[in-house]
Amino acid sequence: MIATSVDLATIVMSIEETIARWSQLRIVAFLFTLLGGIIMIAVGKLLIHSVMKLLERGLSRSKKINDLMARYTLQLVNILGWIFLAIAFLQHMGLNMGPVLAGLGITGVILGFAFQETIGNLLSGVMIVINAPFRIGDYIEAGAFSGTVTDMDMICVTLATPDNKKITMSNKLVWGNPIVNYSDIERRRVELSASVALGSNIEVTKRTIREVIASYAEVLPAPEPVVEVTKLTPSSVDLVVRPWVRPADYWKVHFRFNGEIYDRLTAAGIDVPHNQLDVHLIEPKGEDAR
């Protein structure tokens, strides 16, 4: 029994001596260090994921933070987390990060010039998030482009047009232009027009147009719709029609009015203008007639 115990102790000591000899080899030491680094990355990944989940839950409960700000914050925290994890991994692998981080001061100036557009997009994204001129799902116009905001990250904003086109704009381009938000308002004025022939009864025309507008449930009672003469042309009297609706009903009212106004005016006995050309023939007199 005692001999067995001695043999077991001898085996354990032999294994320890073997591992110690292996650890003297550089390749083995490197593999052990690499294994520890892999474990560090795995644990760090789980930690970042847990922090992201907790942060996402907290941001979703906050009434002061919109979806756009929440997405941007989560992306920023995720990137910073991986940067710190990468630095810790390199430090673990034996790379002295002190001089590297110190050298980033000089290198940062060079990189700043090389990636000034990217840095500009990052800062513009921060300004968009802070000022919140739009949210995910808003229909906006920025510069020469317009569409529904479907996504935004640290570099660009993605828009979806009504005809199903995808537009990707840099944050700098969006922030550097006037941003018109058609969704983040309580009501919007629809710009419509109607034309009648010269000689038409204007009062009857206005009353007919007001009746058409009043029949739309989408039109808001206040402010009161405007129906007034805006221009006289050689063949028509042009009227401006401006009802107020909720942003989601803008195009519904716009298309419905333009599709119905001709028939409604005609039914009321009001003529619509038609371009016409009057030709007067002058008969020649005297010798010119021959």
- For residue 172, what are the domain limits? 125-181
Per-residue burial over 220-234, b if 16 or more Cβ lie within 10 Å, else e, is beeeebebeeeeeee
Residue 30 tokens read as 């490197």
Check whether residue 144 and residue 46 sit in a common domain: no
Check whether residue 75 and residue 99 sit in a common domain: yes
Alpha helices, H only, the chain: 2-23, 26-61, 67-92, 97-114, 116-131, 171-175, 202-214, 250-267
Check whether residue 192 and residue 177 sit in a common domain: no
User: What's the predicted TM-score (pTM) here?
Assistant: 0.55
CB 189 within 8 A of CB 174: no
Q: How far apart are CA 150 and CA 173, in angstroms?
A: 17
Alpha helices, H only, 215-283: 250-267
Q: How far apart are CA 64 and CA 136, in angstroms?
A: 15
**Domain at 164, CATH number:** 2.30.30.60
As a residue count, the chain comes to 290
Q: Which of 58, 88, 114 is the last residue of a domain?
A: 114
**Domain at 204, CATH number:** 3.30.70.100
Q: What is the pLDDT of residues 164-217, one digit of tens each?
A: 899 999 988 999 899 999 887 888 899 999 888 888 889 999 999 999 999 999
Residue at 281 is within a domain: no
Residue at 56 is within a domain: yes
**Domain at 65, CATH number:** 1.10.287
CB 146 within 8 A of CB 169: no
Q: What is the pLDDT of residues 4-43, one digit of tens each?
A: 444 555 555 655 665 565 555 566 666 777 787 788 888 8
Residue at 57 is within a domain: yes
Residue at 239 is within a domain: yes
Q: Domain tally for the chain?
A: 3
Q: What is the pLDDT of residues 148-168, one digit of tens each?
A: 999 888 788 999 998 889 999
Residue at 273 is within a domain: no
